[in-house]
Chains A and B, each alone.
Chain A
Amino acid sequence: MKQIKNIYAILIIIFISYSCSDNFLEPAPIGTPNGETFYSNDDELELGVINMYDGIQGINSTSSNDNHGIQVEFYVTEMRSDNTQTKSSEGEAAQFENYTIEANNGIVADYYRSFYNVIFRANIVLENLNNATAVNRSRFEGEAKFVRAYAYFNLVRLFGDIPLIDRVIAPADKEIQFTRKSKDEVYTLIESDLNRAIETLTNGSKNRASRAAAQTLLAKVYMTTENKRYLEAQQLCESVMSSGFSLETNFKDIFFNEGNNEVIFSIGYLGDDAQNSQNFSAEWLNAVGRTSGVNYVTPDAKDALDNFGGDRTQFSYRVDQAQPTRFQVVKYIPDGDATLGIDPTSSNPTQAGNDWIVLRYADVLLLHVEAIMGTSNETSVPAALASFQAIRDRAGLPTTVTNITKDDLLLERRVELAFENHRLFDLLRFNKAQETLATFSTNIGASFSATDLLLPIPQREVNLGGGILEQNPGY
């Protein structure tokens, strides 16, 4: 009897153990998508690709906990240069112009986590590439690698050595999440990603990655890294220059005729659309956005535009009507300007529809000049003069240029690309940042020192890193 009882017990145990299968939850929930099973076909991967651009676009909100993506980029780039400042020098936004940035600055943290989140979104696409059909796989790969390289290029220039995450990681992967890798290693990934994007992408798209966008970015990378590769940069520029882009005749149309032929890569926004609009345009006005006004034009930038801007000046800055001693950026005005013939891009300026232009053809032409100049301090090579002259002619400055110095080029970039978040990176690339910003800072009574050329790693990240993640000097 006892034996029979034992046999029953054993049978029950066997039965129970067989009833368990590999997956704890089976069948998988089919009513809602989940991270484990999504990105299983082309349609879902396409959504994953769009999700990356959505990350760059950022959330249009005033909550400091949201990721605002590129909408806060002007704070960490243009406002740290000699181009712009806050209107009233208040709050943590004023830390940028005063060069008194604290490691706990919320805007720095916003930008940092936004772009690591973009990298995460790109890594998800790359992780699931095998689920794509052969027709679309290489395009998905190219777009994801372009976006990842673009995000890393911004981060490495702003923060220096940074954690390098090239795959989807889990919370337990603390080591990779918080170990800073050398700039060289970051640039190695950026270069290989962009080369792959150039191989796999075609031209035609402006709000998404394209071959020309990857080529332009790589040209800039080659001239930014320690070991400058000017010849390759020139070849990349020339390839873009024979890809059908052109300068808009009227400078204003670059910004207010969206999708024009000068744009190579831009982040798209839709006016009056809570999900897809932007608020940076409103923040640049006088107390229209949440702030009382940021990214106001410095007297220094105004001078440069007045003296060297040509036709570009009127579409670059204007007098703030409410406060006539101060000057606002005209590029990206959300609510129109009848005097300048600019229409509003939305009825609600805090839900503006102005696209953010990341790369445009004028940038390429000036990069072309820079590549030809190379290590020299000036150039009179005809190809360089032609590219430079095209920019000057469009600006209504047709005097024939016969020689271009490095300073001429830097100045031309300043007035052509003012308030488009290029200035700080240009100063760094031209090896002029410390010299220029030290003088600028002295003139305005700010406290610049060389360690301000890198942002602090957000204190929150340092804390989470539990001692692994080291802070930049000076913070």
Chain B
Amino acid sequence: MKKINKFTFQKKYLTKILVFIGILIFASCDFEFELPEEGSVEDLTPPSAAFEFNQSAENFKLYNFANLSTSATNFSWNFGDGNTSTDKDGVNEYPGEGSYTVTLTVSDALGVESTISKTIEVIEPEEPDVPDPVLVNADFTKLPKSSGSDCTCSAWINKDLGDQGESSSGNGGSDNVLKFDNNEPDHIYQEFEVTPNADYTIEVVASFKDLTGGSFPSMLEVRALAGSGYVSGYTPMYFTETTAFPQENWGYTSISQVEDVANNLLAETITNPSDDSYITYTYTFNSGANNSVALFIRGIGGPATGGGGGDFGYNSGDEEIRVDSITIRAINL
């Protein structure tokens, strides 16, 4: 009986306690604010700020900003120079060169914000001068080659196009000029880097031996050959040391390539001036649609075959010709 009473007692209180706890739980809920409004949904598309910019071609200080933000309705630009805007796309003219941080803050109708900043460097674009091309051993000093004995012709050999020139002395020095021997297919060849569509002058300092009166007067042929005419798949390498230069398999690998009119940016022939002193011959050429050009000079005037060297279909004539130096310069207005 005591047990039963105990149970009754417990049951009586249990109900009260449960009701109390229930009220407590109830009261702890804040229904007024937590019940979702009818039809409301979560903001699944918060705004995301994004933009790109580009510099005007005519006015380097003027920038156009393209607003590529998504899910945004309000825009606020800070261009970093004190100027601001609330237009969708931005346009700003900067006071001058400098580094500016552009900030775009966007928000949607719920007031959710997104911000992006980018730094722009306002720099006046320069039209750089066209640099002078670099020729190696342009004054024909006797230097080591990749193979064979030292020669003033180092860096100037292309055995697919002719025989190498010979070391010689002249114009007040020794082993300082290159000789195109008589009745031989001697040549020089070197590739150099150029700026496309630029004008260049080329100066050749050369001396012809006095005419012998024979039927084959020597002439010197000067050609600037377009890099676009290089053998297919060839990429020019610009060496600095004479020992690094190849002696064959350069960009031009045959005389027919050399003689193709379409490949010649310049083709000049110097005849014997009947004056054996060193004379400067000057020509100009335009590099056209090329970033590489090859200079090719050879002695001609002799019979096509039967000369004193290899068989390339040409030979120099009766007189020796010497070249002391070659200079190529860019013409900048």
- Stretch from A283-291, A310-318, A414-422, A431-439 that touches the partner: A431-439
In the complex the two chains form, is A372's CB within 8 Å of B68's CB?
no
Which of chain A's residues have a CB closer than 8 A to the CB of B70?
473-474
Q: A381-B197, A383-B288, A473-B50 are in contact. Are A450 and B67 (CB under 8 A)?
A: yes
In the complex the two chains form, is B196's CB within 8 Å of A434's CB?
no
CA A451 – CA B56 in complex, angstroms? Answer: 18
User: Which residues B65-106 have CB closer than 8 A to chain A?
Assistant: 65-70, 88-89, 91
The answer to the question of B228 belonging to the interface, with a C-beta cut-off of 8 Å to chain A, is yes
In the complex the two chains form, is B289's CB within 8 Å of A238's CB?
yes
CA A377 – CA B89 in complex, angstroms? Answer: 25
Closest B residue, CB atoms, query A471: B70
The answer to the question of A407 belonging to the interface, with a C-beta cut-off of 8 Å to chain B, is yes
Of residues A230, A371, A376, A473, which shows the largest number of chain B Cβ atoms within 10 Å of its Cβ?
Answer: A473
Which of chain B's residues have a CB closer than 8 A to the CB of A432?
57
User: Which residues B14-57 have CB closer than 8 A to chain A?
Assistant: 50, 52, 54, 56-57
Closest A residue, CB atoms, query B62: A435
User: Which residues B250-290 have CB closer than 8 A to chain A?
Assistant: 262, 286, 288-290
Closest B residue, CB atoms, query A473: B68
The answer to the question of A109 belonging to the interface, with a C-beta cut-off of 8 Å to chain B, is no
Query: Smallest Cβ distance from B225 to chain A, in angstroms?
Result: 15
* A95-124 near B? 1/0 per residue, CB < 8 Å: 000000000000000000000000000000
Query: Smallest Cβ distance from A234 to chain B, in angstroms?
Result: 4
Query: Smallest Cβ distance from B226 to chain A, in angstroms?
Result: 10
Which of chain A's residues have a CB closer than 8 A to the CB of B69?
473
In the complex the two chains form, is B57's CB within 8 Å of A431's CB?
yes
In the complex the two chains form, is B286's CB within 8 Å of A382's CB?
yes
Of residues A234, A374, A407, which shows the largest number of chain B Cβ atoms within 10 Å of its Cβ?
Answer: A234
In the complex the two chains form, is A453's CB within 8 Å of B66's CB?
yes
- Mostly, the B contact residues are loop
Which of chain B's residues have a CB closer than 8 A to the CB of A346?
none
The answer to the question of B64 belonging to the interface, with a C-beta cut-off of 8 Å to chain A, is yes
Contact of A231 among B89, B125, B291 (CB under 8 A): B291
Closest A residue, CB atoms, query B226: A235
Closest B residue, CB atoms, query A475: B70
Contact of B66 among A235, A371, A451 (CB under 8 A): A451
User: Which residues B151-198 have CB closer than 8 A to chain A?
Assistant: 196-197
Of residues B56, B58, B289, which shows the largest number of chain A Cβ atoms within 10 Å of its Cβ?
Answer: B289
Q: A381-B197, A450-B89 are in contact. Are A376 and B68 (CB under 8 A)?
A: no
The answer to the question of B121 belonging to the interface, with a C-beta cut-off of 8 Å to chain A, is no
CA A97 – CA B332 in complex, angstroms? Answer: 46
The answer to the question of A449 belonging to the interface, with a C-beta cut-off of 8 Å to chain B, is yes
Closest B residue, CB atoms, query A376: B127
Which of chain B's residues have a CB closer than 8 A to the CB of A234?
196-197, 289
In the complex the two chains form, is A474's CB within 8 Å of B58's CB?
no
The answer to the question of A413 belonging to the interface, with a C-beta cut-off of 8 Å to chain B, is no
Which of chain A's residues have a CB closer than 8 A to the CB of B196?
230-231, 234, 372, 374
In the complex the two chains form, is B64's CB within 8 Å of A435's CB?
yes
In the complex the two chains form, is A451's CB within 8 Å of B291's CB?
no
In the complex the two chains form, is B66's CB within 8 Å of A434's CB?
yes
CA A231 – CA B288 in complex, angstroms? Answer: 9
The count of A-to-B residue pairs whose CB atoms sit within 8 angstroms is 66
In the complex the two chains form, is A450's CB within 8 Å of B68's CB?
yes
CA A449 – CA B58 in complex, angstroms? Answer: 22
In the complex the two chains form, is B68's CB within 8 Å of A383's CB?
no
* A425-459 near B? 1/0 per residue, CB < 8 Å: 00000111011001000000000011101000000
CA A5 – CA B91 in complex, angstroms? Answer: 92
Closest A residue, CB atoms, query B65: A450
The answer to the question of A228 belonging to the interface, with a C-beta cut-off of 8 Å to chain B, is no
The answer to the question of A137 belonging to the interface, with a C-beta cut-off of 8 Å to chain B, is no
CA A473 – CA B66 in complex, angstroms? Answer: 11
The answer to the question of A183 belonging to the interface, with a C-beta cut-off of 8 Å to chain B, is no
The answer to the question of A326 belonging to the interface, with a C-beta cut-off of 8 Å to chain B, is no
Which of chain A's residues have a CB closer than 8 A to the CB of B56?
435
Which of chain B's residues have a CB closer than 8 A to the CB of A453?
66
Q: A231-B196, A377-B57, A450-B68 are in contact. Are A434 and B228 (CB under 8 A)?
A: no
Which of chain B's residues have a CB closer than 8 A to the CB of A376?
127
Query: Smallest Cβ distance from A464 to chain B, in angstroms?
Result: 20
* A78-89 near B? 1/0 per residue, CB < 8 Å: 000000000000
CA A235 – CA B58 in complex, angstroms? Answer: 27
Which of chain B's residues have a CB closer than 8 A to the CB of A394?
none
CA A360 – CA B67 in complex, angstroms? Answer: 36
Closest A residue, CB atoms, query B68: A473
In the complex the two chains form, is B88's CB within 8 Å of A449's CB?
yes
Contact of B58 among A371, A383, A407, A434 (CB under 8 A): A407
Query: Smallest Cβ distance from B66 to chain A, in angstroms?
Result: 3
* A364-385 near B? 1/0 per residue, CB < 8 Å: 0000000110111101011110
Closest A residue, CB atoms, query B58: A377
In the complex the two chains form, is B68's CB within 8 Å of A235's CB?
no
The answer to the question of A406 belonging to the interface, with a C-beta cut-off of 8 Å to chain B, is yes
Which of chain A's residues have a CB closer than 8 A to the CB of B54?
431, 434
Which of chain A's residues have a CB closer than 8 A to the CB of B288?
238, 383
In the complex the two chains form, is A449's CB within 8 Å of B291's CB?
no
Closest B residue, CB atoms, query A449: B88
In the complex the two chains form, is B68's CB within 8 Å of A438's CB?
no
Q: A235-B228, A382-B286, A449-B89 are in contact. Are A474 and B57 (CB under 8 A)?
A: no
Which of chain B's residues have a CB closer than 8 A to the CB of A238?
288-289
CA A234 – CA B88 in complex, angstroms? Answer: 38
Of residues B56, B64, B69, which shows the largest number of chain A Cβ atoms within 10 Å of its Cβ?
Answer: B64
Which of chain B's residues have a CB closer than 8 A to the CB of A384?
197
Query: Smallest Cβ distance from B67 to chain A, in angstroms?
Result: 6
In the complex the two chains form, is A383's CB within 8 Å of B197's CB?
yes
CA A375 – CA B289 in complex, angstroms? Answer: 15
CA A241 – CA B254 in complex, angstroms? Answer: 26
Query: Smallest Cβ distance from A153 to chain B, in angstroms?
Result: 21
Closest A residue, CB atoms, query B71: A473
Closest B residue, CB atoms, query A232: B289
Q: A231-B289, A473-B50 are in contact. Are A372 and B66 (CB under 8 A)?
A: no
Q: A234-B196, A372-B197 are in contact. Are A434 and B286 (CB under 8 A)?
A: no
Query: Smallest Cβ distance from B118 to chain A, in angstroms?
Result: 15
In the complex the two chains form, is B289's CB within 8 Å of A434's CB?
no
Closest B residue, CB atoms, query A447: B88
Q: A234-B196, A449-B89 are in contact. Are A434 and B127 (CB under 8 A)?
A: no
* B279-319 near A? 1/0 per residue, CB < 8 Å: 00000001011110000000000000000000000000000
Binding site for A on B (CB under 8 A): 50, 52, 54, 56-58, 64-70, 88-89, 91, 125, 127, 196-197, 228, 262, 286, 288-291
Can you spell out 19 A-B residue pairs with CB atoms less than 8 angstroms apart?
Answer: A231-B196, A231-B290, A234-B289, A235-B228, A235-B289, A238-B288, A381-B197, A381-B286, A382-B286, A434-B66, A435-B64, A438-B89, A450-B52, A450-B65, A450-B66, A450-B67, A450-B88, A450-B89, A451-B66
Which 9 pairs, one residue from A and one from B, show the smallest C-beta to C-beta distance? A450-B66, A234-B289, A473-B68, A381-B197, A235-B289, A450-B89, A449-B88, A434-B64, A473-B70
